[in-house]
Chains A and B, each alone.
Chain A
Amino acid sequence: MTMVDIGRLISLIFIGGGLLWLFISGLKGKEVDRRIIFLFIFLSVATPILFPITFGEKATPVVKAVFDKVESLPEGSRVLISFDFDPAMAPEVQPMANAITRHSLTKGHKVIFMSLFATGQALLTQSLRKVVGEEFPELEECKDYVNVGFKAGNEGVLNVIVTDFKKMFPTDVNNVPYDSIEVFDGIKSCKDIDLIVSIGGGMPGVKEWVLFVGDPGNVPVAAGVAAVVAPQMYPYYPEQILGILGGVKGAAEYESELIKNYPHFAEMDTPALRMMGPQTLAHMVIMIFIVIGNVLFFVSRRKRRGK
C-alpha cells in the first residue's frame, strides 16, 4: 500500500463516515449547517484530485458519432476546430478540444484552428503548445495545421466565412498570407471544409455555427459544449449537429474511446477521465444530501403530526 492508497482510504472513510453520521442525526431531526455541506463538497472534489480515483466510461451514441466521423474521414481531410469559449468555461470544454485535436492529427487530418471568443485565442495558443507542440513535434505549422486566431464580429464572422474564408482571415496569426498556407489549398469557404467542430457553449457558439455555416453551407458540424447548454443542443441532433460532447462526461467518453482505439494515448494526459473521479464523488455527495434533506423533512412532519 502506497501513501496515495492510505490517503485515499482515510479520506473516503472520513467522507463516508461523516455522511453516515449526518444521516443518523437527520433521523433525529437535526438540520445540517450549510458550511458542513460546503466542507463535504470540498472534500469530495479534493480527494480524487490528490489521490486519483477513476471510474470506467462507456461512450454513448451521441459522443461515438463524433468520434466515428473523425475516424472515418480520409487522411488529409480538412477539419476546423473553433475554440469558442473563455477561461471560465475552459476547464470543462478544453479537454474536448484537446482530445479532438489529438485524434484529428493522429488520423493525419489538416486542422484549422480559430476562435470566436477574444479570450479564446490565448486558450487556443495554450492548447497548441501543449498538444501539438509536445505530442506532435513533427508536424509543421501551415502545412499540417494552421492557427488563424480570433476575429471579432461573432456570427458576422461566420456569415462571411461561409462564402469567403480569406475575407475574414487574410492571414493566420503569424501574418502568413492566406494563399501561401498549404492547409487552405483549394479552400474558398467553410463549404470546402470536411468537418467543423465548435467547442464552447456560449454566444457565439455551436448554435451560430449551425445556423450560419452548417445549415446554409451544408457542412457537417460537431459540437462540444458545457453541460449546461447540452440539453439545448439535443434538438439539433442528429440532423443539424452530427454529435455532441456534453460537459466533462462527454469529453471523458471521447478520451476513453480514444484510448480504446489508440492504446498509446493511455499514457498521455486524459484530463476529462481524471476529472470524472471528483465529479462522480461530488454527485454522490449531493444525492446523499438530498436524501438527508428528505429524511429530515419526513421526520419533522411526523413530529408535527404527532403533536
Chain B
Amino acid sequence: MEHVALWIAAFLTLGIYSFLYKDNIWYKLCESIFVGISAGYWFVVLFWDNIYGKFWVGVFPPKAYNDAGELVNSAEPDYLLIVGAVLGVMMISRLIPKIGWVSRWPLAFIVGSTSGLYLINYFTSNMMRQVEATIIPLFGMNYELSAYDIIGNLVIVIGTFTGLVYFFFSKEHKGWFGRTAKIGIWTIMITFGASFGYTVMSRMSLLIGRIDFLFGDWLGLIK
C-alpha cells in the first residue's frame, strides 16, 4: 500500500511539474483528478462539520450520561440555528426557476452580515490599532535609543503619513501634495520589494520539500 501510494504521489507531482514546460495530457489528467476529488473532499468535510457538527448537534444536543446511567446536565438546544437552515433551504430554491428569486434573501443576509461585521472589525484592527501603534516618540531623554532606532522611528512616522497622502482620493497628485505622495509611494515600493525578497526563501522551501520527496522518498537517492 505504502509503495503504491508513493508511486501515485510521484506520478501526480511530476504531472504538475510538466505544466512548467507546457500544457499537456499528463497535467490535464492531474488537474481533473485534483478538481474532482478535492471538490468531493471539501463538501464532505463541510457537511459533517457544519450540518452535523454545528446545526444538528446544536439543535439536538447529545445527552450525556454518567457511570450510573443517569442523565446529567446536557447542553440546551439552540433553536436559533433553524433560521440558518431555513436560509439555506431558500438558497436551494434557485433550482426551481419560479421561486428562484427567494434565493436572494439569504444572499442579502450574507452580504449584510459581512458588511456589518467587517465594518467594525476592520475599523478597529486596521485603522485604530495601526494609528495607535504609530504614535511613538521619535527620541526620548529617559531611555536610550540608538541613532538607528531614531532614524527608524522617523521613517515609520514619515512613511505612514506620506503613504496615507498617496491614498488620498480628493486631491490631484500635483505640487507639494504630489511630492509628498511620491515619498509615500516610494515607501510602499520598499515595502513591496522587501516582502517579495523576504518571501523567496519560503517559496524555495516548498520546492525543496517536493524534490526531497522525489529524490528521497521515491527514488531513494538521498540517505
Q: Which of B93-101, B170-178, B200-208 contacts A (4 or more CB under 8 A)?
A: B200-208
Contacts of B205 in A (CB 8 A): 91-92, 227, 247-248, 275, 279
Bound Cα distance from A46 to B216, whole angstroms: 11
Question: With contacts defined as CB atoms under 8 Å apart, how many contacts are there between chain A and chain B in the complex?
Answer: 69
B137 in the interface (beta carbon within 8 A): no
Q: Which residue of B lies closest to A88 (CB)?
A: B206
Known contacts A50-B222, A231-B194; A45 and B202 CB within 8 A of each other: no
**When the two chains form the complex, which single residue of B133, B198, B204, B215 contacts A230, counting CB atoms closer than 8 Å?**
B198
Q: Which residue of B lies closest to A91 (CB)?
A: B209
Known contacts A91-B206, A279-B205; A46 and B215 CB within 8 A of each other: yes
Cross-chain contact B207 with A45 (CB below 8 angstroms): yes
B14 in the interface (beta carbon within 8 A): no
Contact with B along A163-178 (1 / 0, CB 8 A): 0000000000000000
Bound Cα distance from A42 to B204, whole angstroms: 10
A286 in the interface (beta carbon within 8 A): yes
- Chain B stretch 178-223: residues in CB contact (< 8 A) with chain A: 194-195, 198-202, 204-209, 211-212, 215, 221-222
Q: Nearest Cβ distance between residue B161 and chain A, in whole angstroms?
A: 18
Cross-chain contact B211 with A49 (CB below 8 angstroms): yes
**When the two chains form the complex, which single residue of A49, A247, A248, A283 contacts B212, counting CB atoms closer than 8 Å?**
A49
Bound Cα distance from A38 to B18, whole angstroms: 11
Cross-chain contact A91 with B200 (CB below 8 angstroms): no
Cross-chain contact B201 with A279 (CB below 8 angstroms): yes
B21 in the interface (beta carbon within 8 A): yes
Q: Nearest Cβ distance between residue A272 and chain B, in whole angstroms?
A: 9
Cross-chain contact A92 with B211 (CB below 8 angstroms): no
**When the two chains form the complex, which single residue of B133, B200, B208, B215 contacts A275, counting CB atoms closer than 8 Å?**
B208
A226 in the interface (beta carbon within 8 A): yes
Cross-chain contact A286 with B200 (CB below 8 angstroms): yes
Cross-chain contact B222 with A49 (CB below 8 angstroms): yes
Bound Cα distance from A279 to B212, whole angstroms: 13
Cross-chain contact A228 with B202 (CB below 8 angstroms): yes
Q: How large is the interface on B (under 10, 10 to 19, 20 to 34, 35 or more residues)?
A: 20 to 34
- Chain A stretch 272-296: residues in CB contact (< 8 A) with chain B: 275, 278-279, 282-283, 286
Cross-chain contact B202 with A278 (CB below 8 angstroms): no
Contact with A along B147-183 (1 / 0, CB 8 A): 0000000000000000000000000000000000000
Contacts of A247 in B (CB 8 A): 201-202, 205
Contacts of B207 in A (CB 8 A): 41-42, 45, 282
B5 in the interface (beta carbon within 8 A): no
B83 in the interface (beta carbon within 8 A): no
Bound Cα distance from A227 to B202, whole angstroms: 6
Q: Nearest Cβ distance between residue B92 and chain A, in whole angstroms?
A: 27
Contacts of B4 in A (CB 8 A): none
Contacts of B195 in A (CB 8 A): 228, 231
A90 in the interface (beta carbon within 8 A): yes
**When the two chains form the complex, which single residue of A90, A235, A248 contacts B201, counting CB atoms closer than 8 Å?**
A248
A307 in the interface (beta carbon within 8 A): no
Q: Which residue of A lies closest to B223 (CB)?
A: A52
Cross-chain contact A278 with B222 (CB below 8 angstroms): no
Bound Cα distance from A226 to B201, whole angstroms: 9
A110 in the interface (beta carbon within 8 A): no
Cross-chain contact B204 with A279 (CB below 8 angstroms): yes
A249 in the interface (beta carbon within 8 A): yes
Contacts of B20 in A (CB 8 A): 35, 38
Q: Nearest Cβ distance between residue B98 and chain A, in whole angstroms?
A: 40
Q: List 6 A-B contacts (CB under 8 A).
A: A49-B222, A50-B221, A91-B205, A228-B199, A275-B205, A283-B200
Binding site for B on A (CB under 8 A): 35, 38, 41-42, 45-46, 49-50, 88, 90-92, 152, 226-228, 230-231, 235, 247-249, 275, 278-279, 282-283, 286
- Besides A35-B20, A279-B208, 19 more A-B contacts (Cβ < 8 Å) are A35-B21, A91-B206, A91-B212, A152-B49, A227-B198, A228-B198, A228-B199, A231-B194, A235-B133, A247-B201, A249-B201, A275-B205, A279-B204, A282-B200, A282-B204, A283-B200, A283-B201, A283-B204, A286-B200
